[in-house]
Amino acid sequence: MSTFALDPYLAGVAARVEAELREAAREGARGGPARLWEAISYALLAGGKRLRPALVCATAEAFGGDTGEGSLPLRFAASLEMIHTYSLVHDDLPSMDDDDLRRGRPTVHKAFDEATAVLAGDALQSLAFEHLLAGPPDDGRAPRLAVVLASGATRMVEGQSLDLQAETVPPGLEGVLDLQRRKTGALLAASVVGGAIAATGGDQGLGPAGLKLGLAFQIADDLLDLTATTADLGKRAGKDAAAGKATLPALLGVEEARRRADDYCEEALQAFAGLGERAEALRALARFVVSRRK
C-alpha cells in the first residue's frame, strides 16, 4: 500500500494552478467588462480538487519534468482547468443539467444570470488556448498540447450531447461507456497525455490509461451520487438517479459498477507500473479516483 502523502500534493498543485488562474482573471479584468470577468473569476476560483491539473503535473514529474511556476506543464494544467471550468458552467445551465449548486456555492447562472454564464463559459474556452500559447514561440510542445486540449474539449462536448440524448433514448451498456469515455474520459486522458508531452515532447502511449481513469472517475462519481450527501458533494446529491440518468450503477447495480471502477483503475496502474519512484504521485492519484468520498 502506498504511503504517498496525497493531500499535501493536491494542495501544492492547487496553490500553483490557482495563482495562474487568478492572474489570468486579473489580467482580463483590467480591460474587459467588469461583470463578465467577475463571473469568470467566480467560476475559476471556486476551489475543487484540481484533479486534472494534479494529473498533468504528476505525469510530467514521472518523466522528469519541472512543474514549478512558469513551467509548460503548469501552464497546460491551468489551461486544462479553464476548459474543465467552462464545461461545468455550461453543464449547470437550465438548458443542460439545470443545477443550482456547484462546489457548495450557487452555480454561475444563479449567482449572475444565464446570459453571463454562457459568455463566461465561452470566454474561458478561448482564454485556455490564449494562456497555453503565450509561452516561447519556438517551443514546439505548446502547439501539440493545444491539439490535445482541443480534441479533449470536442470529445467532452460530444459526451454531453450523448448524455442529453440519453434522457429520451436510453443507451445500452456500450452506449453508456462511449458517453463516459467522451464526457469524462477525454479530459482525464488529456491530463496524462498532456503531462507526458509537456515533459518529453511525446505522449508515451498513455492515452488508453487516461481513458481508463476517466471511466473509473465517472463510475465513482455516479456511486457517490447514490451514497453521499449534498453537503459532502457540494452539489445536489441523488439528482442523477432521480432523473434516471444513464449510468453503470443504474445498468449493472452498485457492486458490479464498483468492481468495474476498481478494474479500470487497476488497468491504469499497470500502465504506470514501469515508471519508477517518480510516478508515486501519479499512482496515488489513480487510486484516489476511485477511493474519494466527494
75-118 pLDDT tens trace: 999 999 999 999 999 999 999 989 999 988 999 999 999 999 99
The pLDDT, as a whole number, for residue 139 is 83
Residues of the domain holding 225: 6-291
CA atoms of 18 and 26, how far apart (whole Å): 12
Give the pLDDT score at 233.
54
263: Cβ–Cβ under 8 A, 6 or more apart, which residues? Answer: none
Residue 1 lies inside a defined structural domain of this protein: no
The pLDDT-based confidence of 219 (bands split at 50, 70, 90) is: very high
pLDDT in tens, 31-68: 899 999 999 999 999 988 899 999 999 999 999 999 99
Reply yes or no on whether the pLDDT at 237 is more than 90. Answer: no
pLDDT for the residue numbered 260: 95
Phi-psi region at 235: left, alpha or beta (left = phi > 0; alpha = psi -120 to 50): beta
pLDDT digits (tens, 9 = 90+) for 188-200: 999 999 999 999 9
Contact 234, 285 (CB under 8 A): no
Read off the pLDDT of each residue in 1-10 and give the average, rounded to a whole number: 85
Nearest to 72 by CA among 5, 8, 10, 149: 149
pLDDT digits (tens, 9 = 90+) for 32-41: 999 999 999 9
Number of C-beta neighbours around residue 248 at 10 A: 22
Q: How confident is the model at residue 292 (pLDDT cuts 50, 70, 90)?
A: confident
Residue pointed to by grid coordinates 443542460: 96
232 occurs within a structural domain: yes
Which of 201 and 246 is assigned the larger pLDDT?
A: 201
Query: pLDDT category, 186, cuts 50, 70, 90?
Result: very high
- Averaged pLDDT for residues 127-148: 92
Tell me what pLDDT residue 234 has.
58
Instruction: Categorize the per-residue pLDDT at 272 as very low, low, confident or very high, splitting at 50, 70 and 90.
Output: very high
In percent, how much of the chain has pLDDT > 90? 79
CATH number at residue 106: 1.10.600.10
In 65-85, which positions are buried (b, 16+ CB within 10 angstroms) versus exposed (e)? Answer: bebeeebbbbbbbbbbbbbbb
Confidence (pLDDT) at 2:
61
Whole-prediction pTM value? Answer: 0.93
Confidence (pLDDT) at 238? 53
Residue 233, classed as helix, strand or coil, is helix
The interaxial angle of helices 141-165 and 186-200, nearest 10 deg, is 180
Report the range of poorest mean pLDDT among 128-132, 134-138, 280-284: 134-138
Confidence (pLDDT) at 151 = 97
Q: Residue 86: inside a domain, yes or no?
A: yes
Assess whether pLDDT exceeds 90 at residue 230: no
In 3-state terms the chain splits into helix, strand, coil percentages (rounded to 5) of 75, 0, 25
**So what's the pLDDT on residue 285?**
97
**CA gap 65, 196 in Å, rounded:** 8
The tally of domains found in the chain comes to 1
